[in-house]
Structure 1
Amino acid sequence: MSNLHELSIENSTDDHAGCFQEKEQLYECPKCGIFFHKECTESTTEINAHENLGEVRAVEDKPNDESIKVDERGASNIHFTDEHHGKVDDINNTGYDACKFKQILENYSKPIEPKHLFECLPSNLRPSSDGASSDGKSYDPQSNGLEKDDFTVPTIIPPMVLPLLHDLAQQMVKAGHQQQLFETYRDTRRAVLEQSLEKLGVERHSKDAVQRMKEDILDAKMRNWIHYMRISVKLLFAAEKEICNQILDGVEPLRDQSFAEITTISFDMLLSFGYAIAISRRSPEKLFVILDMYEIMIELQPEFELIFGSQPCSEMKEDALNLTKLLAQTVKETIVDFEDAVEMDATETVVMDGSVHALTSYVERYVTYLFDYKSTLRQLLPDTKLKSALTGIMRALMNNLDGKSRQYEDAALSQLFLMNNVYYIVRHFRREEANNLLGDDWVQTHGRIVKQHANQYQTVSWNKILQCITVQLSKSGLIKNKSITKTLVKEKFKTFNSQFEELHQRQCQWLVPDVEMRESLRLAIAEVLLPAYGSFLKHFGPMIESGKNSQTYIRFTTEDLERMLNDFFEGKNLE
């Protein structure tokens, strides 16, 4: 019997020496509390069936305990040992049936450690060392990456014990002890289920408690709740349903009512947090976790129907459905709230270099995240309403940016600011999802708006300086106005030099963060400025060069201007 539990025998105490009609040895598994008669230990089959339960310890003359023999087929031969009655072999003794049912059920009903539950999850949903799921996001019910079979329902009572518990339950029912059976089973399993959830980290939260939580703590609890719901429903409640169906098979009304009362408190505790989130103060920052919460409720709908399908569980199923609807409504209202918040954002901080405002990048990230939930959002909103909601957010942003642009005293910087911010959105929305959700023409329309702001910048910033070096030429290339004097030419060169140096000093500090846009804008300026300056220099340069101190007036060549234009929009601090 080398493959059996190692047995150790303890002597009986004198206090109980007279409790038995004859001395006999009982062997106890300290992990499960089940006792075997001495003759049971002589059966390899019987002990092997119990081998997975831990080391078996032999106890001599142990009072007030019974002995069970369970073979590997689940068949049982029950002997009751009592200090006043000795060994009783009558299986029909319903008093002992009830006692034995309770003892076995309690001995084998232990809370499940979280690590064992995690092992029953698909690998990409198991918590990593930091406590988050390895994919960092809620499971997508529309994804083909996971199948239902990837969830392994845990064994919460050894299969070999279930037939014995079923037989004892049947005996109690036949003897008219249904109520005792119901209460024993319900109270035992309900307590264990609650302990398993407590070990997992499930807590009951009220609306007030949720609203008092710090943002980072609340966010972590919301993400944990998603995993708790999945584990509880797909694993714990599913396992509870399985053993309830087996142990109480044949007594359906009692079975269904027992399961309902076992799970109702735990399920209500789980849903309480979801309800607290759904009815608490809305915040745009919570939208995406709430979407994940909604997705897990949708994912679990088949399990709700299967596990809570009986009439006694109808209220739990209805509570789950109501929470799903409430979360959906919260998502819709939060999207509307976000549009209002964008429109009313009163941030007074001026972006001194005219680059992308924090509000713009925030809204872009927010809407981009919404694109990632397009399938879920389409379940909540018809395409027309979804498009209206998203375009409403973008319209609110454009209105707000227009207001912020008026904070600049320099009209050219105001246009550069608008160009930068609209282009930032257009560049990030060049993806299929944006066209699908905002409309095919949205990106094209706002691309044209970017060009309008760029043109307005050029007009405001460069028209004045170009006027200094513009002369009217005849078709033959001759100067029409012969009255241009040397003094006037000198004044024009001086004005140009002064204005260009001022523009260079100021606009080198402005920033166009996108490299492509920055080069495009420089090129557009060069295409207008360099030919105009080159022409002016060609026609009037000789008038100055022939005199004294010509370098005072002709300070730049076209190459100098081209080189200096490369300093523009770099965000340099020249002070």
Structure 2
Amino acid sequence: MARRSSSLFRGGPKVRGGGGGGGIENLLAVRRSLESILKKSRALASAVENAGLGIDEIYHRLPDLEAAVRPSGAPKGALAGAGSHIGRAVSPGSVVLKVFDALHGLEPFLLTDPLDDLQGYLSVLKRLEEAIQFLGDNCGHAIQWLEDSVDYLEESSLADDRYLARLRTSLKSLKDSKSPLDGGLLDAALERLESAFRRLLVDSSVSLALALPSSKPLNAIREDQKLPQVIAPSPLPMPVIQQLLSILDRLSANGRVERCSKIYAEVRGSNAQATLGNLGLDYLSISAQEFVDVRRIDVEIVEWMKHLEFAVKHVLEAEFKLCYEIFGRFGPPDFWKNCFADIATQAGLLSFLQFGMTVTESRTDPDKLLKLLEIFGFLNRLRSDFNRLFGMKPCAKIQSITRDLIKRVIDGACEIFFDLHNQAKSQGQRPPPSDGGVPKVVTFLVDYCNRLLGDDHKPLLTQVLDIHQSWRGENLQEGLVTKAIMEIIVALERNLEAWSKAYDDATLSYIFSINTHSYFYRQLKGTRLGDLLDDQRLRDHDALTDYYSTLYLRNCWGRLPPFLSRKGLILVSKGRAATIDLVKKRFTAFNEAFDEIHRKHSVWVIPDKDLREKLSQLAVQTVVPVYRSFLQSYGSLVKQDSNSDKHIKHTAESLENSIGSLFQHKPARSPSLQAAQSNGKVNDAARINQYQSPLLDENVGFGLYV
């Protein structure tokens, strides 16, 4: 370059001295020459730089070119084998790629709503499963073929080592990858299918708005208001069931049927709960502290039995059949049973059973025995349904609570029944009624024992006692029920004798004995309890009624006629004044005695109308004829006196009416109990608590008011 530059300078224009204009032109020419040279230098430098980049590119491509031309230098046998190895690897790989492309072609349809075209969706989903299965089965083989080809190329030195290393790395990455071959498409489709399963159930599960018959005694319900035998052909329409089964087929094939069973139990359980809730089940939340005895929730107990029967025989029966129809062919044998157990629990069956437990925890009294027998009979009628629906292992909790409920019912009933005799016996220590009426404990227990002997209760009581005895390893004694009831009646009869002796007033004792013995005869005759007693025993009560009636008339009304004796009365003029005074005294004595009897009798009662009329008539026959005769014979003597009204207070008719008005039964009465004196007699003046109920407070067990 230096040499060339020198030549250029030598060949340039020469500058001559002495001319001003020529010198400037020469300088300009030199400048242009220098600029031209500089431009060419830059172009040359750029060309050199580009040539260097090309050389670098050639350098980097040399290994690839070397690998490309390497087979030309390899043995012909190695080159021939490479073709077959590569061909075997490329063919399965090509098929796998085609299936993979087809798989992703299904994606748009599988991301739509399955219920828009369920059968089409399920068909495409099945194709997706088959494609994934194919890829799972063949991807490994394709990778293995490729690895074999790489091994051959490496052994035959037909490829660059770096190239082969990168290829091995890629194949290992494919082989070890944990990512789904479908990119998560199958999971997304299955989740959509589960969502469709839930929506089908929710849209087709409608709670029933039901109104069962109003509360009545259980036997009345069974006779004229029986529960419907069928609610509907199926709780789900058949097309919906078919759709659910189709969905379950695909979900089961992918191991998701258990998730569907939980969805199903949640939806159907909530629906069953809503259906039963429409019946009005607020009473199920009553606690043992909220009531004292079963009579206060008698209506709720009747409702409970109706509702529980409806829940078991209709709601849960339908769910049982439907659950088996849908899940019966999926999973292990207990799979669908677990699902049904969840439905029964969510529907609120345990709340029903807990209410029964609450009833058994109420205060012990005779009425509770009758109610427990009704509950036992009700549960016994449901026994086959309970065993069929809940007798499987998944329903173990329901079984346990049910067994506990039945045990409490039986134990509670037996406890009350075996204690009835003691309770009846203990009533003899209490004071008798102050009005001489029949003690409430007598009327209650006579009616109670008749009910126990009736067809509605005696078979149940016998069965309860039999079960209770079997739990204790004992056999039921023959006639145990009738024997125990006879002991109660014997205790009452002994109480009658004790009560009759507790009165200070003998007349009131006679009234009490007349009432009670007459009551026994009239109320027991022709009844189950009367049949249990022999006829002679009943006739004895009738005879005692007559016996005490005779004593009553003789010792009460029979005391009045002697006051009207004619002895010593002389109607001659000589003794007239003395006779009038004597007649006045006898009228006065009669009036005082009658008023005393009337005063006492005004608070005494004879509840039976026929017996009351009979005794009144006998009293009238004892007193009125004597009074009428005496009044006719001597009344005129007294009437001459200005104060005759003081001595003659009654006409024969008014006296008869006054006697007839006695012993009137007062239905709304609240007879008082009498306090016992230290000598065991009743003080007629002492009054204590009035009757309120046939049951005493809980501090006296379940004793009965007298």
Tell me which interval the TM-score lies in, with the shorter structure as reference length: 0.5 to 0.7
Instruction: Tell me by how many angstroms 1:285 deviates.
Output: 4.1
CA contact (8 A) 1:210 1:280 kept: yes
CA contact (8 A) 1:493 1:554 kept: yes
Match of 1:302, as an amino acid?
Answer: S
- Which of the numbers 253, 256, 259 marks the counterpart of 2:340? 259
Instruction: Tell me by how many angstroms 1:529 deviates.
Output: 4.6
Structure 1 residue 66 and structure 2 residue 148: aligned?
no
Aligned to 2:617: 523
Task: State how far apart, in whole Å, the 2-side matches of 1:571 and 1:204 are.
Answer: 40
- Which of the numbers 379, 384, 387 marks the counterpart of 2:479? 384
Aligned to 2:326: 247
Query: Could you say if the C-alpha distance between residues 238 and 449 of structure 1 is closer, same or farther in structure 2, counting changes exceeding 3 Å?
Result: farther
Structure 1 residue 454 and structure 2 residue 538: aligned?
no
Aligned to 1:108: 201
The more displaced of 198-207 and 153-162 is: 198-207
Structure 1 residue 373 and structure 2 residue 457: aligned?
yes
Query: Could you say if the C-alpha distance between residues 183 and 115 of structure 1 is closer, same or farther in structure 2, counting changes exceeding 3 Å?
Result: closer
Query: Could you say if the C-alpha distance between residues 521 and 249 of structure 1 is closer, same or farther in structure 2, counting changes exceeding 3 Å?
Result: same
Task: State how far apart, in whole Å, the 1-side matches of 2:205 and 2:322 are.
Answer: 15
SS of corresponding position for 2:218: coil
SS of corresponding position for 1:307: helix
- Which of the numbers 195, 212, 217 marks the counterpart of 1:137? 217
CA contact (8 A) 1:508 1:568 kept: yes
Aligned to 2:28: none
CA contact (8 A) 1:465 1:496 kept: yes
Task: State how far apart, in whole Å, the 2-side matches of 1:441 and 1:322 are.
Answer: 46
Matches within 5 A, 1:69-148: 77-79=119-121, 88=124, 90=126, 96=189, 99-101=192-194, 103-105=196-198, 107-109=200-202, 113=207, 115-116=209-210, 118=211, 126-128=212-214, 133=215, 136-138=216-218
Task: State how far apart, in whole Å, the 2-side matches of 1:442 and 1:97 are.
Answer: 84
RCO comparison, higher one (Cα < 8 Å, 6+): 2
- Which of the numbers 277, 296, 305 marks the counterpart of 1:226? 305
The more displaced of 322-331 and 105-114 is: 105-114
Matches within 5 A, 1:502-517: 502-517=596-611
The more displaced of 248-257 and 441-450 is: 441-450
Matches within 5 A, 1:212-361: 212-213=290-291, 218-251=297-330, 252-264=333-345, 266-313=348-395, 316-317=398-399, 319-344=401-426, 351-361=433-443
Instruction: Tell me by how many angstroms 1:504 deviates.
Output: 3.5
Aligned to 1:189: 268
Match of 1:258, as an amino acid?
Answer: C
Task: State how far apart, in whole Å, the 2-side matches of 1:68 and 1:248 are.
Answer: 24
TM-score (norm: length of structure 1) = 0.65
The more displaced of 326-335 and 191-200 is: 191-200
Aligned to 1:13: none
Query: Could you say if the C-alpha distance between residues 435 and 362 of structure 1 is closer, same or farther in structure 2, counting changes exceeding 3 Å?
Result: closer
Task: State how far apart, in whole Å, the 1-side matches of 2:657 and 2:285 are.
Answer: 66
SS of corresponding position for 1:512: coil
CA contact (8 A) 1:339 1:393 kept: yes
Matches within 5 A, 1:129-168: 133=215, 136-138=216-218, 150-152=229-231, 155-168=234-247
Query: Could you say if the C-alpha distance between residues 374 and 436 of structure 1 is closer, same or farther in structure 2, counting changes exceeding 3 Å?
Result: farther
Task: State how far apart, in whole Å, the 1-side matches of 2:464 and 2:502 are.
Answer: 39
Match of 2:209, as an amino acid?
Answer: K
CA contact (8 A) 2:564 2:626 kept: yes
Query: Could you say if the C-alpha distance between residues 501 and 221 of structure 1 is closer, same or farther in structure 2, counting changes exceeding 3 Å?
Result: closer
SS of corresponding position for 1:376: helix
Task: State how far apart, in whole Å, the 2-side matches of 1:489 and 1:391 are.
Answer: 59
CA contact (8 A) 2:557 2:622 kept: no
Match of 2:512, as an amino acid?
Answer: F
SS of corresponding position for 1:160: helix
SS of corresponding position for 1:150: coil
Instruction: Tell me by how many angstroms 1:555 deviates.
Output: 8.0
CA contact (8 A) 1:154 1:239 kept: no
Any idea what the Cα deviations from partners look like across 1:287-307, whole Å, max 9, x if unmatched? 443333223212212211332
Gaps of 5+ in 2: 1-105, 130-185, 466-476, 568-577, 670-706
Task: State how far apart, in whole Å, the 2-side matches of 1:139 and 1:518 are.
Answer: 37
Instruction: Tell me by how many angstroms 1:237 deviates.
Output: 1.0
Aligned to 2:289: 211
Task: State how far apart, in whole Å, the 2-side matches of 1:420 and 1:195 are.
Answer: 57
Instruction: Tell me by how many angstroms 1:176 deviates.
Output: 4.1
Instruction: Tell me by how many angstroms 1:184 deviates.
Output: 3.7
CA contact (8 A) 1:390 1:437 kept: no
Task: State how far apart, in whole Å, the 2-side matches of 1:92 and 1:443 are.
Answer: 92
CA contact (8 A) 2:588 2:647 kept: yes
Gaps of 5+ in 1: 1-19, 25-36, 38-62, 70-75, 81-86, 119-125, 473-484
Match of 1:257, as an amino acid?
Answer: N
* Count of aligned residue pairs for this structure pair: 474
Aligned to 2:148: none
Task: State how far apart, in whole Å, the 2-side matches of 1:329 and 1:529 are.
Answer: 59
CA contact (8 A) 2:284 2:352 kept: no
Any idea what the Cα deviations from partners look like across 1:463-514, whole Å, max 9, x if unmatched? 4445657899xxxxxxxxxxxx989985767644542343234324432232
Match of 2:406, as an amino acid?
Answer: T
Structure 1 residue 173 and structure 2 residue 252: aligned?
yes
Query: Could you say if the C-alpha distance between residues 192 and 441 of structure 1 is closer, same or farther in structure 2, counting changes exceeding 3 Å?
Result: farther
Structure number with higher helix proportion? 2
Structure number with higher strand proportion? 1
Match of 1:163, as an amino acid?
Answer: Q
Query: Could you say if the C-alpha distance between residues 192 and 285 of structure 1 is closer, same or farther in structure 2, counting changes exceeding 3 Å?
Result: same
Task: State how far apart, in whole Å, the 2-side matches of 1:305 and 1:201 are.
Answer: 27
Match of 1:104, as an amino acid?
Answer: F
Task: State how far apart, in whole Å, the 2-side matches of 1:113 and 1:402 are.
Answer: 64
Aligned to 1:409: 504
The more displaced of 248-257 and 178-187 is: 178-187
CA contact (8 A) 1:497 1:555 kept: yes
Matches within 5 A, 1:37-56: none
Instruction: Tell me by how many angstroms 1:244 deviates.
Output: 0.7
Instruction: Tell me by how many angstroms 1:98 deviates.
Output: 6.6
Task: State how far apart, in whole Å, the 2-side matches of 1:400 and 1:363 are.
Answer: 13
The more displaced of 209-218 and 255-264 is: 209-218
Query: What percent of counterpart residues are identical?
Result: 21
Task: State how far apart, in whole Å, the 2-side matches of 1:92 and 1:440 are.
Answer: 91
Task: State how far apart, in whole Å, the 2-side matches of 1:460 and 1:383 are.
Answer: 48
Task: State how far apart, in whole Å, the 2-side matches of 1:560 and 1:471 are.
Answer: 22
Match of 2:461, as an amino acid?
Answer: L
Task: State how far apart, in whole Å, the 1-side matches of 2:125 and 2:639 are.
Answer: 133
TM-score (norm: length of structure 2) = 0.54
SS of corresponding position for 2:664: coil
Query: Could you say if the C-alpha distance between residues 127 and 276 of structure 1 is closer, same or farther in structure 2, counting changes exceeding 3 Å?
Result: same
Task: State how far apart, in whole Å, the 1-side matches of 2:320 and 2:239 are.
Answer: 17
Query: Could you say if the C-alpha distance between residues 309 and 353 of structure 1 is closer, same or farther in structure 2, counting changes exceeding 3 Å?
Result: closer
Task: State how far apart, in whole Å, the 2-side matches of 1:338 and 1:228 are.
Answer: 32
Matches within 5 A, 1:528-567: 528-529=622-623, 562-567=656-661
Task: State how far apart, in whole Å, the 2-side matches of 1:146 and 1:158 are.
Answer: 29
Query: Could you say if the C-alpha distance between residues 294 and 441 of structure 1 is closer, same or farther in structure 2, counting changes exceeding 3 Å?
Result: farther
Instruction: Tell me by how many angstroms 1:233 deviates.
Output: 0.6
Matches within 5 A, 1:17-56: none
Match of 2:306, as an amino acid?
Answer: H
Task: State how far apart, in whole Å, the 2-side matches of 1:185 and 1:67 are.
Answer: 17
Task: State how far apart, in whole Å, the 2-side matches of 1:569 and 1:236 are.
Answer: 59
Query: Could you say if the C-alpha distance between residues 154 and 373 of structure 1 is closer, same or farther in structure 2, counting changes exceeding 3 Å?
Result: farther
Any idea what the Cα deviations from partners look like across 1:374-431, whole Å, max 9, x if unmatched? 4433443588332234344444555555555556432212321343345445544455
